[in-house]
Structure 1
């Protein structure tokens, strides 16, 4: 109370003005005026009685039953609190608007103090200041709902809850599990229910959202991060075991348990769709309910505060996709969920990222899309793109005996016939491919004309073989006179026995 003694001394002994007392003691003029008004109402004179101690003086200035008398007009604090939810709002700007209506109103410091005292009377879920349209908090209710199937088997349905920060507009739905597909689908339907998207989504550290919890550098699930990127949002996980980081949705969970789940406890549901159909009207009743202290409802506050500050939905609906990291084998193939796919040959023995939707499997390398496949079902044959192979591998994959014979016929009639004879005794594709490559090399080395002549000579001495053909070419037997004549053109002579002699 030392400051109060000095204040009374300067006022009674020195006759100082309120401004001078405020400057001398480092107090606001409103505070000085308030103390002087209390001293006048209490009948305090100077000098103080000898037996007046701090407790007695405080009792005179602040009687317990005394009603607070405001010298200045008070604003509507509910309207001030509602305005503070809007983006960019400050108490300084609201105080200036207050002074425009009441030029002799309270100073800014007292204005802020009164607003802080008024806020202390609000419920806990409204004590945090949430910027309009900034964030939505999501969580699961600990209370489950039972669904009885046609066969009498009961299954538990999870209850997903999302609450907007400023307006407290709530979204509720039931689905089967807390796994990634259900978690992502619930977010998509929640944003469609809002008709717009916030800037931040605050979530717990469940596995569907966070792969590694950390206070400083949490690792977000790739699919969840993909969802945030699609809606231009930021995922903000709470600290581990700190539920107050998402107090808005914690209170929202309690409300839906009382307003919705408790009221449905006696009903029997045979499907998830039936349960969600029963939840929707009760959810609308909750969002239309009037706030007890601030007036309005969650829906009206959403339309007035949150919706104007939120982003519109993207043109395209979010497509669910899962991400994985795989290593491409030396054969240019990789396996994803029991299915084999090809990758560009330049990525052999390298790690790549996979983005798999319901229809496609996309290959990402260094954050760039390098290829895609139609998604195969488990057990299907390997999905191979010929363009992913090297030219040699592509040629081997497309090789067939018919194509080899057709290609050989382009070099000459006898070459085609020789290739046909050569492949007749080959049953393994690799051997046929090697024979085709060997024949092509000899065509390149000796030319098509000599090759055709050499094949004509080789056909007279079956069986057909590449070694025989190469011997003919290197020995120049194809260049001998009449080398390409048929057997019937041979000269008959009495000294020539002929083939029949040896039979």
Structure 2
């Protein structure tokens, strides 16, 4: 209204319309329109300058607001809004089509431009802009959560951090979440396959930000996508999109879904401990279902209901085969009958007789296959632990099998072996274990005792029985008894046993001592 007051002041001073245009920047036709409105009021410029903004605006826009609100055309259109917005969510339905149907039923209705304007105003009021921005089955947005999830490695007790992949269908808000071993492209492609399988179909397009796995060269208009990602998109018959650099608002739905993941998945599971990636993802799936089944705020339906009733049927069918990224390489089998695979430098075993042979390796995100010529000689589940070993016991020489088997033994394993030789052997093994401050220190003694048991299978029980009467319990005691055949000697009577003197003529009676 400041411009209007300036125009009033210049009109009061008899400035020309051209001069007022030059001073205020307001077009002279608009200045003339304002002047005519002021003159129609019958008030002087000085009187008009005393009015507040609201009163002054009433003279500039004399149309009766109540009359506009009571316009039967507007009342009719307002009664149609609920139907119009629900129809707009259906595939192929546009505002142009809705207006044509509307004008056929109500020929005296609003023209197309005013119809769209009123629809847009109503959308702002009831937060219905999503119907304009997203159509069912058109788009899937993906991203990685900023915060990692964790699980505990059972063997080492190490806390393993893993990135979390998030995908969402913007129309229904139906999403998919998966924790991954890492955020590299092979893992991303696997997660994308799992997301499409979870949704039960393929959208027309998929959008992400400019993460390096997605875009090799960012550009606002023509970004260059990773070649492997392009192959995946072609296999699934969908279009790749990328948000403009540093423009997260161009994929707001997945950004919001990441925040929802923190609240609906991370928070409820914060006090839980998981011991594998599969356990963690299983818990994520359960929490995700709970989230999907909850109604939207201020709405009487859930994401699941919206997806099942209006979006699922619009998805394109899944391809007959899942896209799988395969890597091919060659390696020479090392003396420890293992080969290194992948950028993780993880070692996988092959049968020991192939030591020194050249082998061909095919590996994916899930499996590792090793071939000698055309024959597959090994198949392993893929591991992502750096510089670690995956060994199949059937690949080991016989002497190595025993060693590897023993390496996994615990006290119960040793005691069960001892029990086969008898109760005294079992008790002696217990004494050996109790005699050590750290139980692991007794394992070598137990191994030695088991070896003696294989050499002296019929005497080990007797040797342990005799050794239990002493105060030292170790391997050397049993070895000494067996080598010196002490276990075969007849045991001498103990002091506790009553000794009876044999009868003969040289024994004096009690009367001799009176």
With over 3 angstroms needed to count, the CA separation of the structure-2 counterparts of 1:153 and 1:376, relative to structure 1, is same
SS at match of 2:166: strand
Q: Give runs of aligned pairs for residues 11-30 of structure 1, distance below 5 A.
A: none
CA positional deviation for 1:98: 3.4
Question: Given the alignment of the two structures, is residue 248 of structure 1 paired with residue 253 of structure 2, yes or no?
Answer: yes
- Partner residue of 1:93? 97
With over 3 angstroms needed to count, the CA separation of the structure-2 counterparts of 1:197 and 1:187, relative to structure 1, is same
- Partner residue of 1:71? 72
Conservation of the 8 A alpha-carbon contact between 1:201 and 1:234: yes
SS at match of 2:41: coil
SS at match of 1:197: coil
With over 3 angstroms needed to count, the CA separation of the structure-2 counterparts of 1:251 and 1:189, relative to structure 1, is same
- Matches of 1:124 and 1:142 in 2, distance apart? 29
- Matches of 2:127 and 2:376 in 1, distance apart? 52
Question: Given the alignment of the two structures, is residue 215 of structure 1 paired with residue 234 of structure 2, yes or no?
Answer: no
Conservation of the 8 A alpha-carbon contact between 2:362 and 2:368: no
- Partner residue of 1:284? 289
- Partner residue of 1:231? 236
Q: Which residue of the other structure, out of 41, 46, 50, is the alignment partner of 1:48?
A: 41
Conservation of the 8 A alpha-carbon contact between 1:146 and 1:155: yes
Conservation of the 8 A alpha-carbon contact between 2:89 and 2:131: no
Q: Which residue of the other structure, out of 137, 142, 158, is the alignment partner of 1:138?
A: 142
Q: Give runs of aligned pairs for residues 304-319 of structure 1, distance below 5 A.
A: 304-319=309-324
CA displacement 1:346-368 (0-9 Å, x = unmatched)? xxxxxxxx99756799xxxxxxx
- Partner residue of 1:57? 59
- Matches of 2:260 and 2:92 in 1, distance apart? 30
SS at match of 1:89: coil
- Matches of 1:255 and 1:248 in 2, distance apart? 10
Higher relative contact order (CA 8 A, sep 6+): 1
Q: Which moved more, 1:194-203 or 1:48-57?
A: 48-57
- Matches of 1:51 and 1:375 in 2, distance apart? 101
Q: Which residue of the other structure, out of 76, 81, 86, is the alignment partner of 2:85?
A: 81
SS at match of 1:133: coil
Q: Which residue of the other structure, out of 192, 197, 200, is the alignment partner of 1:195?
A: 200
For the aligned residue pairs, the C-alpha RMSD in angstroms reads: 4.0
Q: Which residue of the other structure, out of 185, 190, 194, is the alignment partner of 1:185?
A: 190
Q: Which residue of the other structure, out of 273, 277, 286, is the alignment partner of 1:272?
A: 277
- Matches of 2:377 and 2:126 in 1, distance apart? 57
Q: Which moved more, 1:93-102 or 1:65-74?
A: 65-74
CA positional deviation for 1:374: 8.1
CA positional deviation for 1:163: 1.0
Structure 2 unaligned regions, length at least 5: 2-36, 49-55, 330-340, 344-360, 379-514
- Partner residue of 1:421? none
With over 3 angstroms needed to count, the CA separation of the structure-2 counterparts of 1:356 and 1:78, relative to structure 1, is farther
- Matches of 1:258 and 1:125 in 2, distance apart? 24
Q: TM-score, normalised by structure 1?
A: 0.52
- Matches of 1:97 and 1:110 in 2, distance apart? 15
Conservation of the 8 A alpha-carbon contact between 2:41 and 2:59: no
With over 3 angstroms needed to count, the CA separation of the structure-2 counterparts of 1:122 and 1:138, relative to structure 1, is farther
With over 3 angstroms needed to count, the CA separation of the structure-2 counterparts of 1:319 and 1:154, relative to structure 1, is same
- Partner residue of 1:418? none
- Matches of 1:195 and 1:279 in 2, distance apart? 18
Q: Give runs of aligned pairs for residues 152-167 of structure 1, distance below 5 A.
A: 152-167=157-172
SS at match of 1:319: coil
CA positional deviation for 1:311: 0.7
- Matches of 2:199 and 2:106 in 1, distance apart? 39
Q: Give runs of aligned pairs for residues 424-503 of structure 1, distance below 5 A.
A: none
- Matches of 1:293 and 1:77 in 2, distance apart? 18
CA positional deviation for 1:66: 11
Q: Which moved more, 1:179-188 or 1:91-100?
A: 91-100
- Matches of 1:186 and 1:145 in 2, distance apart? 16
Say how many residue pairs are matched: 302
CA positional deviation for 1:180: 1.6
Question: Given the alignment of the two structures, is residue 117 of structure 1 paired with residue 121 of structure 2, yes or no?
Answer: yes
- Matches of 2:369 and 2:205 in 1, distance apart? 29
- Partner residue of 1:302? 307
Q: TM-score, normalised by structure 2?
A: 0.51
CA displacement 1:133-156 (0-9 Å, x = unmatched)? 111000011122221222431111
CA positional deviation for 1:55: 2.8
Structure 1 unaligned regions, length at least 5: 2-43, 325-335, 339-353, 362-371, 378-503
- Partner residue of 1:447? none
Conservation of the 8 A alpha-carbon contact between 1:135 and 1:164: yes
- Matches of 1:249 and 1:375 in 2, distance apart? 43
Q: Give runs of aligned pairs for residues 324-335 of structure 1, distance below 5 A.
A: none
Conservation of the 8 A alpha-carbon contact between 1:166 and 1:305: no
- Matches of 2:181 and 2:296 in 1, distance apart? 32
- Matches of 2:362 and 2:306 in 1, distance apart? 39
